[in-house]
Chains A and B, each alone.
Chain A
Amino acid sequence: MTSRDVRQEDPWHDTLTAGWGWPNGAGMPAPAAVPRPRGEAEREIVEARARDVYLAVQQSEAFQEVRSRYRRFVVPGAAAFLVWYVGYVVTATAAPGLMARPVIGAVNVGMLAGLGQFASTFLLTWAYARHARLRRDRPALELRWDTQELTRGVQGGTS
Chain B
Amino acid sequence: MTSHHQMLALVLFSAFVAVTLGITTWVSRRRHGSAEEFYAGGRLFTPLENGFAISGDYLSAASFLGVTGLIALYGYDGLLYGVGFLVAWLVVLFVAAELVRNCGRFTLADVVAARMAERPVRIATGSASVTVSVMYLVAQMVGAGSLVALLLGGSGGAAQAWTVIGVGALMVIYVSLGGMRATTWIQIVKAVLMLTGTIVMTVLVLVRFHGDINQLLLTAAERSGHGASFLAPGLKYGGDWTARMDFISLGLALVLGTAGLPHILSRFYTVPTARAARRSTVWSIGLIGSFYLMTIVLGFGATAVVGADALRRSNAAGNTAIPLLALDLGGGASSTGGTVLFAVVAAVAFATILAVVAGITLASSASVAHDLYASLRRRPTTPRGEVAVARIAAAAIGVVAIALGLLARNLNVAFLVGLAFAVAASANLPTLLYSLFWRNFTTRGAVWAVYGGLIPAVILVLLSPVVSGSPGSLFPGVDFQYFPLQNPGIVSIPLGFLAGWLGTVTSDEMPDEAKFAETEVRSLTGAGAV
Which residues of chain A have a CB within 8 Å of any CB of chain B?
A: 14, 16-17, 20-27, 51-52, 54-55, 57-58, 63, 66-67, 70, 74, 77-78, 81-82, 85-86, 88-90, 92-94, 96, 99-100, 102, 104-108, 110-111, 114, 117-118, 121-122, 124-126, 128-129, 132, 136-137, 140-141, 143-144, 147-148, 151
Contact = CB atoms under 8 A, between A and B. Distances in A.
Contacts of B293: 118
A118 B79 contact: no
B231 A23 contact: no
A100 B231 contact: yes
B521 A58 contact: yes
Contact of A27 (B375, B383, B518, B525): B383
B521 A108 contact: no
A121 B214 contact: no
Contact of A111 (B229, B231, B248): B231
A22 B521 contact: no
B524 A121 contact: no
A20 B282 contact: no
Contacts of A110: 76, 231-233
A55 B526 contact: no
Given A93-B247, A106-B231, A108-B232, A54 B514 contact: yes
B189 interface: no
- Which of A17, A20, A25, A77 has the most chain B CB atoms inside 10 A of its CB? A20
A129 B337 CA distance: 43
Given A26-B380, A57-B521, A144-B527, 7 more contacts: A25-B380, A63-B525, A85-B83, A89-B251, A93-B233, A93-B237, A143-B525
Given A106-B214, A143-B521, A148-B527, A122 B286 contact: yes
A117 B248 contact: no
A10 to B, nearest CB: 13
Contacts of B237: 93
Contact of A20 (B87, B247, B530): B530
Contacts of B282: 125-126, 129
A82 B329 CA distance: 38
- Which of B84, B238, B381, B525 has the most chain A CB atoms inside 10 A of its CB? B525
Contact of B520 (A16, A67, A124): A67
A127 B526 CA distance: 21
Contacts of B76: 92, 99, 110-111, 114
Interface stretch (B90-98, B310-318, B392-400, B418-426): B90-98
A121 B94 contact: no
B83 A88 contact: yes
A89 B247 contact: yes
B95 A78 contact: yes
Contacts of A16: 528
Given A74-B94, A107-B217, A121-B87, A96 B370 contact: no
Interface of B: 35, 76, 79-80, 83-84, 86-87, 89-91, 93-95, 98, 104-106, 110, 113-114, 118, 122, 213-214, 217-218, 221, 228-229, 231-234, 237-238, 244, 247-248, 251-252, 255, 275, 278-279, 281-282, 285-286, 289, 292-293, 370-371, 374-375, 380-383, 386, 513-515, 517-518, 520-522, 524-530
Nearest to A66: B524
A78 to B, nearest CB: 5
A140 B79 CA distance: 39
A96 B233 contact: yes
Contacts of A126: 282
Contact of A129 (B104, B244, B279, B386): B279
Contacts of A67: 520, 524
Contacts of B83: 85, 88, 114, 117-118
A71 to B, nearest CB: 9
Contacts of A17: 528-530
B86 A118 contact: yes
A111 B36 CA distance: 46
B512 to A, nearest CB: 9
Contact of A23 (B91, B122, B528): B122
B521 A54 contact: yes
Contacts of A52: 514
Contacts of B229: 100
B518 A24 contact: no
B320 to A, nearest CB: 24
Contacts of B517: 51, 54-55, 57-58
B381 A27 contact: yes
Contacts of A107: 213-214, 217
A23 B118 contact: yes
25 contacts: A20-B528, A21-B104, A21-B110, A21-B530, A23-B375, A27-B35, A51-B517, A54-B514, A55-B513, A57-B517, A63-B521, A92-B247, A96-B233, A100-B232, A105-B217, A105-B218, A117-B87, A118-B86, A121-B87, A121-B289, A125-B285, A129-B278, A129-B282, A137-B275, A151-B528
Contacts of A147: 521, 525, 527-528
A82 to B, nearest CB: 8
Contacts of A14: 528
B143 to A, nearest CB: 25
B381 A26 contact: yes
A81 B87 contact: yes
A102 B221 CA distance: 14
Contacts of B118: 23-24
Contact of B248 (A27, A89, A151): A89
A55 B514 contact: yes
Contacts of A148: 527-528
Nearest to A97: B232
A70 B525 CA distance: 11
